[in-house]
Amino acid sequence: MLTGSAIQTDYGPVQVRVTVTDGKITNAEALQQPSGGRSTQISGTAIPELNQNAVSAGSADIDAVSGATYTSGGYKQSLQSALDQAG
């Protein structure tokens, strides 16, 4: 498991942990995500989609989730920092 840096967004931190098996992302999860008020609702919808996109893409080159621009950007940065550890 590789844990990315916690990326501070305008709505709170995003931190991603990935499992890489044989050079492929087999699991992605957010350890931290924006919460409180509307952020909880947005993260609740966006994070599962971002997790799925990361596994499907196999990289940090994933599309932002509509309506969750800041969360998506933080997610991608944290995901890339985790993948950078894999070499």
Rounded-to-integer distance, Cα 78 and Cα 87, Å: 15
- Amino acid 87: pLDDT: 73
User: Stretch 5-22: mean pLDDT, rounded?
Assistant: 96
Structure tokens at 3: 């844990």
CB 26 within 8 A of CB 20: yes
pTM, two decimal places: 0.95
* Whether residue 74 has pLDDT greater than 90: yes
- Amino acid 86: pLDDT: 83
User: Stretch 59-77: mean pLDDT, rounded?
Assistant: 96
CB 3 within 8 A of CB 28: no
* Whether residue 48 has pLDDT greater than 80: yes
* Whether residue 50 has pLDDT greater than 80: yes
